[in-house]
């Protein structure tokens, strides 16, 4: 059974992050699914709303979006000299980048790309049934600590990359990597599946 590892206040007003883990394989998806459910139930008790939308309209201005950053490793990556396995995994993730952008949010990539919002994807705010149309939303722009969905990038301690290798990992020459592309409303099972397929099965 996993656990809630950390809770952090984020940049956008009302934005919070929680971390789960460490988990083996698909259990991470199970834990995230259950954590989302529990968050909704607790919020309901206090009369507040929760959204997992990757670029909600919370206030005036262009604020950071919300992602579901995935930290993961294999036994080889955690072993001495594992940085080579990490770098090999990064190259494999690059090959499936277009598929990842499409699968890493439940609207076929639209939530992560710049687009004119449509009624079917728009969220109604409490007490307001009007849908704001033609709002340009975008999370993976290359701004606000994100990479652009248009190309794959990676780097050490680079929060503006598609995939980040933490500085401590680079210094230790082993550890894990972070896929920063999934949206906060992602289907975690799809994310887990694509990561495993990209790194272990291709």
Number of independent structural domains in the chain:
1
SS3 18: strand
User: What pLDDT digit, counting tens, does each position of 94-148 carry?
Assistant: 999 999 989 987 877 666 665 544 444 444 444 444 434 333 347 877 788 888 8
Contact 43, 94 (CB under 8 A): no
Task: Answer yes or no: is pLDDT of 17 > 60.
Answer: yes
Contact 165, 174 (CB under 8 A): no
* Residue 74, pLDDT score: 97
CATH number at residue 194: 3.30.590.10
Strands (E), 65-169: 70-72, 115-116, 136-137, 154-156, 163-165
pTM (2 d.p.): 0.83
Between CA 67 and CA 73 the distance in angstroms is 19
Res. 30 pLDDT band, cuts 50 70 90: very high
Domain encompassing residue 48: 4-200
User: What pLDDT digit, counting tens, does each position of 165-185 carry?
Assistant: 999 999 999 999 999 999 999
Which of 87 and 10 is assigned the larger pLDDT? 87
* Residue 120, pLDDT score: 46
Give the chain's largest Cα–Cα span.
56
- Express as a percent the part of the chain with pLDDT over 90: 56
Task: Answer yes or no: is pLDDT of 202 > 60.
Answer: yes
């Amino acid at each position: 059974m996993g656990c809630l590892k950390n809770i952090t206040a984020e940049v956008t007003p009302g934005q919070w992050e929680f971390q789960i883990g460490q988990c083996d394989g698909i259990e991470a998806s199970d834990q995230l699914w259950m954590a989302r459910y529990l968050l909704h139930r607790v919020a309901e008790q206090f009369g507040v709303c929760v959204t997992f939308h990757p670029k909600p309209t919370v206030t005036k201005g262009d604020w950071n979006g919300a992602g579901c950053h995935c930290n993961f490793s294999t036994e080889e990556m955690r072993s001495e000299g594992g940085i080579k396995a990490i770098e090999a995994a990064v190259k494999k993730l690059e090959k499936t980048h277009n598929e990842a952008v499409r699968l890493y949010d439940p609207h076929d990539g639209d939530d992560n790309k710049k687009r004119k919002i449509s009624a079917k994807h728009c969220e109604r705010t409490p007490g307001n049934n009007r849908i704001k149309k033609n709002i340009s939303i975008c999370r993976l722009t290359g701004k606000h600590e994100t990479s652009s969905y248009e190309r794959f990038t990676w780097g050490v301690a680079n929060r503006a990359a598609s995939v980040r290798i933490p500085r401590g990992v680079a210094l230790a020459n082993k550890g894990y990597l972070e896929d920063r592309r999934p949206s906060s409303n992602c289907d975690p099972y799809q994310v887990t599946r694509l990561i495993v397929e990209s790194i272990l099965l291709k």
